[in-house]
Amino acid sequence: MTVAIATSPTYTSFSEVFPLKILELNLMCFQLVPEVEKKDGNRLSYHFSQKLPETVVIWHKSYFWVLAAHHRVLPSKEELQEALKIIQNEVEDFKEYLFCLQLVSHFQPTHLIYSRLAIQVLNKTKFASPIAFSENGIIVKREPDFWSETLELTDDVKAAITLTICSSIMFRDTLADFYEKHPQRQNPEQFLIGLNVQEKERGNNATIVNIIGNIGEHREELLAKATGLTSKQALQDAPDEQPIVAIQFGKDTRHFYYAMAALRPCVTSATANLLGVEYGKLLKAAKITHQDRIQLLTSYKTTAKEALAVYGMQLELSINSRDYPNIFWEHPVKLEDTRLLFGNGITVNRTEVLKGLSKGGVYRRHVQFQDKSKVIQIAALKLCDVTVSSFIEQLTQRLAKYGFKSEVITKKSLSVKNLTKTESRVAVEKAVHELVEIPHDIVLAFLPESDRHADDTDEGSFYHQIYSLLLRRQIASQIIYEDTLSNSESYQYILNQVIPGIIAKLGNLPFVLAEPLEAADYFIGLDISRISKKRQAGTRNACASVRLYGRQGEFVRYRLEDDLIDGEIIPPKLLERLLPATELANKTVLIYRDGAFVGKEADYLAHRAKAIGAKFILVECKKSGVPRLYNIKQKAVTAPSQGLALCLSSCEAILVTTKVPDTIGLARPIRLTVREQGHQVSIESVLETTLKLTLLHHGALKEPRLPMPLYGSDRMAYLRLQGIRPSVMEGDRQFWL
């Protein structure tokens, strides 16, 4: 396909990151006394941006930055004070404050501030949102998404933005329409409470937590409090008898009262059927082809460029390998040529895992299977009509080929064809419960093809249900779909996929890297989850899990720790138990954090490193808010090559870790950030290490998106936070794979 992008012989890659050229800004700065915290600062700046025409406001580290369109005069102090007064009148939380507004005469904006102002401009800009799919009032829309970036080049720092495309699945009508047509309309609590909804005005997602009465009873007082135009209109138009819902945004425990016409039901796997559309269809429609993606990106860029020009900013060509050859990085050798080490010293390429297993056997047997006469006890659970005996026979033969005896000791068939979703989920739960009462090493679950269309993270799928039920008991599972078994000739191919995984889930190490990693002695995946204890005033529970890997990427063990905490603090005791001095003293340890280090986490870890005489390299690994990368071949846009990276600075990079077929979509890169509190290493060595650590997922022949120390790191912590304490908080089996 061809797109209107400048090309040259050296132009091979480009990104969704667009530098900003700052021309002439109509900029001012003010402060509020008393100072406001970040959360309130951001809220106030949003309201200022709404109130002041052709002006945007952001809050950054105690200061409010005001940018006006170049043809407009900057607001005066009085104008700002007037706007603040109106905001305080309208927004309940700010009513009681007594603010003093002070203009700042000398200010020095940073590139991040420019970039954030540009994003606020785009937030006020109307973009076209073409509809890619529409059925029964549910639409799949293409929408732009954008956030700020800064680029640190060797000789320059640049403000930039990421401009990307996403698909939103939404109900075209309002919650009021949904409610009016609902068969259980007489019992709104039954289907409304717990429903995820989207606020029409700002697009924020929330959950309905209560029904507080009807419009007739509260119309006037709610109208007095409503701030958004949509909310006000909805309140005015709503019939008296319509319920008012209380909603809650994310973790914010406050309740906000809304008329149903100001909300839309969110479309999820759980509600899609209710709304009369197959969820699988929606997921399919949400995928965007390269061609569509580039065309949309081009059109959105034009819109953004025009909007920013009004404010004195110029959007430049996206970061590409022609203009910025030094900040694109590729793994020096093909990733698939990485050598892996199996048993008996056998080494092969990454693409020859099965050859390695046949010739050398596994690199390390788990202690439970040291005795080769030990039989792997398998349970088979079948939820589809396909015959599986021949497949199972070949599976046990293949395990034997790699040195493991196995036997299917329990078989359970379940027909879910004629059951409702609820009935079938109950039946599946009962069947899994019965299976786990007999000690099995692993459960093979054969699922109907229809379950494929439910995303594996989607709670509506049997996949997710079975996986979760077994995870709760720390039992490994292997899911196989019916359609893959329709042709017996493909069994060998499926076995190639699942056998290394089965072996690994039982605690064995099929293979490790033949060449040790140089960046550190140990590699750790760290996940810290926090949850408020519902029934305990003022305390929160923190659960941290670490997985420890050695220099050859060998899994050493996982450990889970939890503690009651206050705020963002990580209790020193918890750190001591997680990162024991005996093992890590005088060692260099690369710690991957799933997401960002929160609060003072990085400082605590740096202190811990100092205390035990170790060097901790602290790397954040983010999965969302990451720009995409693309390749260009013969003027056509193609998927990015696995291992392609864009270094945004000496300590931050975007890395493509997966190879995604065009039919599936476009690779979603990850963002790696080396935190300054830890030991410093080059970003290139972090990139190389990360890529190598994606090669060690024994559960699939395809590399995961995250390096293995982080893969699935949140799963054990999730259990702990649910109140389930595994008897063994430490282990050496990767049963969650």
Partner 1 sequence: MVWRPYVSFNIWSQFVPPVGKEYWHCDMKRGFTRARKKELLVKSLLEQDTIPQQIGLLAQKGIYEFHQDIQLLCQSNGVEIVAQKLKLAQESAEVQQRVMKILENYYQSPILLGKKIIQLSRGDEGIPEPILIQQGNYFFNLFAAIDCIFIELNGKLHILDFKTGKSDFDRRQAFVYLLAATYLYPQQKAVASFYNLENGKQSELITATDAQLKAIQEKLVQIAQEHQKELQRYKKNPSDFADIFPANPGISCRHCQFTSICQFYQFEVSA
Of the two residues 573 and 610, which places its CB atom closer to partner 1 in the complex? 573
Verify binding: residue 407, partner 1, rule CB under 8 A. yes
CA angle 18, 21, 23 (to 5 degrees): 150
Closest separation between CB of residue 368 and partner 1, Å?
9
Verify binding: residue 437, partner 1, rule CB under 8 A. yes
Verify binding: residue 468, partner 1, rule CB under 8 A. no
Verify binding: residue 433, partner 1, rule CB under 8 A. yes
Tokens encoding 667: 């690779």
Verify binding: residue 434, partner 1, rule CB under 8 A. yes
Verify binding: residue 253, partner 1, rule CB under 8 A. no
Of the two residues 34 and 723, which places its CB atom closer to partner 1 in the complex? 723
Q: What is the dihedral of CA 308, 309, 310, 313, to 10 degrees?
A: 70
Q: Looking up tokens 């939890």, which residue turns up? A: 562
Verify binding: residue 725, partner 1, rule CB under 8 A. yes
d(CA 507, CA 366): 5
Closest separation between CB of residue 102 and partner 1, Å?
43
Stretch that binds partner 1, among 485-493, 494-502, 567-575, 716-724 (CB under 8 A): 716-724
d(CA 452, CA 212): 39
With CB under 8 A as the contact rule, the residue among 157, 438, 585, 598 that binds partner 1 is: 438
Cα-Cα-Cα-Cα dihedral sign, residues 313, 317, 323, 328 = positive
Verify binding: residue 366, partner 1, rule CB under 8 A. no
Give backbone dihedrals phi and psi of 527, rounded to 5 degrees, phi first.
-130, 125
Closest separation between CB of residue 429 and partner 1, Å?
8
Of the two residues 578 and 626, which places its CB atom closer to partner 1 in the complex? 578
Verify binding: residue 409, partner 1, rule CB under 8 A. yes
Q: How far is CA 42 from the centre of its chain?
A: 23
Enumerate the H helices of 556-635 as residue ranges: 572-578, 581-584, 601-612
User: Which one, of 228, 223, 150, lies nearest residue 627 by Cα?
Assistant: 150
- 628 contacts 641 by C-beta, under 8 angstroms: no
Verify binding: residue 185, partner 1, rule CB under 8 A. no
Tokens encoding 721: 């936070």
The one-letter amino acid at 719: L
d(CA 284, CA 368): 43
Of the two residues 92 and 429, which places its CB atom closer to partner 1 in the complex? 429
Verify binding: residue 439, partner 1, rule CB under 8 A. yes
Cβ burial 357-373 (10 Å sphere, 16+ → b, else e): beebbbbbbbeebeeee
Of the two residues 24 and 371, which places its CB atom closer to partner 1 in the complex? 371
Of the two residues 533 and 702, which places its CB atom closer to partner 1 in the complex? 533
Of the two residues 194 and 516, which places its CB atom closer to partner 1 in the complex? 194
Verify binding: residue 252, partner 1, rule CB under 8 A. no
With CB under 8 A as the contact rule, the residue among 255, 290, 453, 473 that binds partner 1 is: 473
d(CA 304, CA 1): 24
Closest separation between CB of residue 729 and partner 1, Å?
7
Stretch that binds partner 1, among 267-275, 336-344, 352-360, 528-536 (CB under 8 A): 528-536
d(CA 496, CA 477): 16
Q: Which residues pair with 375 in a beta bridge?
A: 405
d(CA 313, CA 161): 12
Verify binding: residue 536, partner 1, rule CB under 8 A. yes
d(CA 266, CA 169): 8
With CB under 8 A as the contact rule, the residue among 270, 436, 494, 611 that binds partner 1 is: 436
Stretch that binds partner 1, among 355-363, 438-446, 508-516, 651-659 (CB under 8 A): 438-446
Of the two residues 84 and 379, which places its CB atom closer to partner 1 in the complex? 379
Verify binding: residue 410, partner 1, rule CB under 8 A. yes
Stretch that binds partner 1, among 142-150, 270-278, 690-698, 725-733 (CB under 8 A): 725-733
Task: Return the SS3 of 518.
Answer: coil
With CB under 8 A as the contact rule, the residue among 33, 317, 581, 724 that binds partner 1 is: 724
Cβ burial 256-286 (10 Å sphere, 16+ → b, else e): bbbbbbbbbbbbbbbbbeebebebbebbebb
Verify binding: residue 537, partner 1, rule CB under 8 A. yes
Of the two residues 370 and 663, which places its CB atom closer to partner 1 in the complex? 370
DSSP state of 145: E
Stretch that binds partner 1, among 64-72, 384-392, 402-410, 500-508 (CB under 8 A): 402-410
Of the two residues 514 and 729, which places its CB atom closer to partner 1 in the complex? 729
Of the two residues 401 and 472, which places its CB atom closer to partner 1 in the complex? 472
With CB under 8 A as the contact rule, the residue among 71, 534, 624, 633 that binds partner 1 is: 534
Contacts of 280 (CB under 8 A, 6+ apart): 450, 452, 453, 454
With CB under 8 A as the contact rule, the residue among 214, 338, 377, 394 that binds partner 1 is: 377
Where do contacts with partner 1 occur on this chain (CB under 8 A)?
377, 407, 409-410, 433-434, 436-440, 472-473, 533-537, 722-725, 727, 729
